[in-house]
C-alpha cells in the first residue's frame, strides 16, 4: 500500500509540475501580446514612464478612435491597408496552396527523373532570407513596372510560400495509404475522382495547416512589402505601422493599436480552422 500511495503521490506531483510549467510557458509566450494590448490602451505618459508602469492606472480607446478618425484628422487609411492585406494574402495563399497541392501530390505519389534533386532545390530556396531578395526584386519589378501593385506582392508571396506548402503537403499525402485510392479506382472511380473523394479529404489537415502558415506569412510580412509598395493603393497593414513614425518621435500607442487590429483576423482564422488541424490523419479510413 505504501508503494502504491508513493506512486500516486509521485504521479500527482508530476502532473502538478507539468501544469505549472505549461502555465509559465504560456505566460511567457502570451506576455508580448498582452503588453501590446495594454500599451494600446494606456495614456502616453504611462508608456514612456521610467521605471515602467506594469499595471495600468488609466485605460481608454483613444488610440483606436484616432486610428479610424480618417486621414488628416490624426488617423491612417487603415481600411485601405486592411483591404490590401486581405486581397494580397488570400490570393497568394489560394495560388500557393493550389500549386503546393499539385507539387506535393506529385512528389508523394509519382516517380520521375531528378525527383530528389528537384525537391532539395525547392527546399534550398527557403534558406534565402526574404530581406536578401528585396533589392534584386526591386530592380526587377522596376524594369517590369509592377512596383506598388497588388500583382507584384502576390507574385513575390506565391514564390515565397510554394516551397513550404509543397514540403508540408507532400508529407501529409505520404501518410495517406495508396491502397485507398487504388480501392476507389477498382470500385469505378477515375483517378481524378479518387483524389478528390478519398485522398484530398484525408490530407485535409495538412492542406489546412499549410494554408494557415502561408496566410500568416503573407499577412505579417514586412521586409518585401516595405520595398515593393509606395502608396495607399498597395500598402499592407505591416507597412502601415510606419505611418506612426516621424523623424524624432514614434506614436507607440497608435502603433500597438494597429498591431492589435492586425492580430485579430489571424487569431480568428486560426480558431475557425483549428478543428481541421487535430486528430488522426487517416483515423477510421483503414479497417482492420
Statement: residue 280 has pLDDT above 60: no
pLDDT at 154 (0 to 100) = 94
99 and 162 Cβ atoms separated by less than 8 Å? yes
The band of 276, judged by pLDDT with boundaries at 50, 70 and 90, is low
* Alpha-carbon gap, residue 14 to 97, rounded angstroms: 42
Architecture of domain 78-277: Orthogonal Bundle (1.10)
pLDDT digits (tens, 9 = 90+) for 202-232: 887 788 888 888 998 899 898 889 889 988 8
Statement: residue 38 has pLDDT above 60: yes
Q: What average pLDDT does range 74-102 have in this prediction?
A: 89
Statement: residue 245 has pLDDT above 90: no
193 and 100 Cβ atoms separated by less than 8 Å? no
> In whole angstroms, how far apart are CA 19 and each of 15, 16, 31, 237?
6, 5, 18, 37
Which of 175, 220, 173, 178 has its CA nearest to residue 200? 173
Mean pLDDT of the chain: 82
> 3-state class of 71 per DSSP?
strand
pLDDT at 96 (0 to 100) = 94
The band of 242, judged by pLDDT with boundaries at 50, 70 and 90, is confident
Domain regions of the chain by residue span: 2-60, 78-277
pLDDT digits (tens, 9 = 90+) for 51-75: 877 888 888 888 888 888 765 555 6
> 3-state class of 167 per DSSP?
helix
> 3-state class of 133 per DSSP?
helix
Q: What average pLDDT does range 184-190 have in this prediction?
A: 78
* Alpha-carbon gap, residue 52 to 44, rounded angstroms: 12
pLDDT at 3 (0 to 100) = 64
Backbone torsions φ then ψ of 250, nearest 5 degrees: -135, 130
Statement: residue 285 has pLDDT above 60: no
pLDDT digits (tens, 9 = 90+) for 119-152: 888 888 877 777 788 888 889 999 998 998 999 9
The shares of helix, strand and coil residues in the chain, as percent rounded to the nearest 5, are: 75, 0, 25
Q: Which of left, alpha, beta for 234 (phi over 0: left; psi -120 to 50: alpha)?
A: alpha
Backbone torsions φ then ψ of 211, nearest 5 degrees: -65, -40
Statement: residue 24 has pLDDT above 70: yes
Altogether, the residues listed in the chain come to a count of 288
Q: How many CB atoms lie within 10 A of CB 268?
A: 10
Statement: residue 246 has pLDDT above 80: no
Sign for the pseudo-dihedral over CA of 265, 266, 268, 272: positive
Statement: residue 175 has pLDDT above 60: yes
Share of the chain above pLDDT 90, in %: 16
Amino acid at each position: 500500500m505504501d508503494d502504491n500511495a508513493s506512486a500516486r503521490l509521485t504521479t500527482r506531483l508530476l502532473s502538478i509540475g507539468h501544469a505549472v510549467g505549461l502555465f509559465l510557458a504560456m505566460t511567457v509566450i502570451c506576455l508580448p501580446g498582452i503588453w501590446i494590448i495594454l500599451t494600446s490602451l494606456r495614456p502616453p505618459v504611462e508608456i514612456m514612464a521610467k521605471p515602467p508602469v506594469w499595471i495600468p492606472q488609466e485605460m481608454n480607446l483613444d488610440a483606436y478612435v484616432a486610428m479610424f478618425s480618417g486621414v488628416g484628422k490624426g488617423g491612417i487609411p487603415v481600411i485601405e491597408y486592411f483591404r490590401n492585406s486581405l486581397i494580397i494574402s488570400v490570393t497568394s495563399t489560394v495560388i500557393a496552396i493550389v500549386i503546393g497541392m499539385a507539387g506535393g501530390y506529385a512528389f508523394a505519389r509519382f516517380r520521375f527523373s531528378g525527383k530528389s534533386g528537384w525537391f532539395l532545390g525547392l527546399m534550398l530556396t527557403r534558406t534565402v532570407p526574404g530581406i536578401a531578395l528585396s533589392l534584386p526584386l526591386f530592380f526587377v519589378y522596376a524594369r517590369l513596372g509592377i512596383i506598388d501593385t497588388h500583382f507584384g506582392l502576390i507574385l513575390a508571396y506565391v514564390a515565397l510560400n510554394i516551397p513550404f506548402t509543397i514540403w508540408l503537403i507532400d508529407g501529409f499525402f505520404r501518410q495517406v495509404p495508396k491502397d485507398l485510392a487504388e480501392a476507389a479506382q477498382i470500385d469505378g472511380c477515375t483517378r481524378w475522382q479518387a483524389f478528390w473523394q478519398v485522398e484530398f479529404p484525408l490530407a485535409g489537415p495538412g492542406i489546412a495547416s499549410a494554408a494557415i502558415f502561408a496566410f500568416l506569412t503573407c499577412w505579417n510580412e514586412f521586409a518585401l512589402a516595405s520595398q515593393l509598395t509606395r502608396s495607399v493603393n498597395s500598402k499592407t497593414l505591416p507597412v502601415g505601422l510606419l505611418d506612426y513614425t516621424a523623424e524624432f518621435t514614434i506614436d507607440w500607442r497608435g502603433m500597438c493599436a494597429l498591431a492589435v487590429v492586425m492580430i485579430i483576423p489571424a487569431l480568428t482564422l486560426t480558431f475557425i480552422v483549428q478543428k481541421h488541424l487535430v486528430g488522426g490523419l487517416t483515423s477510421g479510413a483503414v479497417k482492420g
